[in-house]
Amino acid sequence: MISEFTSIRNWKKSEICAFAWHPHTPKCAIALKDNSVKIFSGKSEIVSNLKHRLQQCVSALAWKHHSASVLAVACKTCILIWRVDPSSLSTRPAASAAQVLAYQGHGPVTSLAWDPKGGLLASASPSDTAMLIWDVAKGACTVLRRFGGGGVSHLRWSPDGERLFAATPSQMFRVWETQTWQCERWTQLNGRCQAACWSPDGRMLLFATENEPIIYSLKFNKESTTDLIGGSKAAIVCADLSEIAYDQEDEVIKIGGLVQDMALNETGERLAVSFKPNEKNDNLSSLVALFNVGQMQLLELIPIGFVQGEPGNILQMFSFEPTFNEGALLTMVWEDGKVTYVPLFFLSSHDLEQQQNNYLHSIPDQFPQQQN
């Protein structure tokens, strides 16, 4: 079950079982096959090694927002909340530093999502029809259960904190508003939802299903109400990713097909998409397609290239490092345990606008002023 619903492509074979960047500082957590979790920081040579008797079958990691030390670990029978002091010189925090969150029948936990605004943590299991919202400080949870769809397979909290996306193992997903915890559902998908991500402002949800080479978008109003989540009634096709072939240096490259996963960078200007391999094209398992994201009148995805790994090495997962300020930094996790980084250098729209404004303000100083 974990292999089917975790974000790792081949969870059983991969040396790395989960990976997560900290949202505010260059620090990452990596879960290994031996059930240990290691924390690497760009500001320190000390590598913390987290181990606990309940830390089994780790499938997801999530750092708490506005905190340098709190890490949630999704395990087979519970969630562990580690508090790792970034100033500590210890490489092996005691097991007592971990808080255990457990609820009967809620496991294995395969997805976690922190509230960007506060201390709430959402957890999900494909075998549990309930989604749990944890008040971590109190160690208590609120059970949100809706019948239909089976369990809950994937969670994505919108960056503005207003909505929570919850996919199911069936042809349906829900979007919850986080004030009164009402939800709307979208049904009749062509298979279950395979991947999803929010735009930085929380107004746009991109998603793909397991049986179509298509990326859809749903637009949401700025603010939801108690009786309406604010989402469009129907999704819009914004990209057809059907396989195409082209020549490159006497070699035919085939790219496209069914989506495995996708991610937007922090500014929402670059989209990375991986694909499910098929019998005719094994290269898809080591390849990520890159898109420039335009949002003038309608969302527009413009292909700008792809990144391919070493032959025979399978890409397990990828994400963008959220604090990189010179464009976007794509992080790629491979089956053999390697982690590689691909910098995509560009000026963000915000920086470009700021430069244009500075230039316009400097124009009067470049010409002599008329003297009275």
Q: What is the pLDDT of residue 339?
A: 95
Neighbours of 129 (CB within 10 A): 18
> Which helix or strand (DSSP H or E) is residue 361 part of?
helix 349-362
SS3 167: strand
What integer pLDDT is reported at residue 89 of this predicted model?
76
Residues of the chain under the 50 pLDDT cut: 225-227
Nearest-angstrom CA–CA distance, 111 and 284:
25
Residue 369: C-alpha distances to residues 358, 363, 372 (Å): 19, 12, 10
**Cα 155 from chain centre:** 9
The pLDDT, as a whole number, for residue 274 is 96
| pTM score, whole prediction | 0.90
The reported pLDDT for the residue numbered 88 is: 79
List the beta bridge partners of residue 16: 32
Contact at 8 Å (CB) between 7 and 317? yes
pLDDT at 118 (0 to 100): 77
Q: Closest by alpha carbon to 259, among 270, 277, 274, 245? A: 274
Radius of gyration of the chain (CA): 22
Helix (H) or strand (E) holding 340: strand 339-345
- The Cα 180–Cα 277 span in angstroms is 41
Q: How many whole angstroms separate alpha carbon 51 and alpha carbon 67?
A: 21
Residues near 179 by Cβ (< 8 Å), separated by ≥ 6? Answer: 162, 224, 226
Distance CA 340, CA 213 (A): 26
pLDDT at 284: 81
Report how far residue 314's alpha carbon sits from residue 294's, in angstroms, rounded to the nearest whole number.
Answer: 30
The label of the residue with tokens 């959402």 reads 122
> In 3D, which of 305, 298, 184 has the Cα closest to residue 253?
305
**Residue 250 Cα to chain centre, angstroms:** 36
Angle at 286 between CA 282 and CA 289, to 5 degrees: 105
* pLDDT score of 226: 44
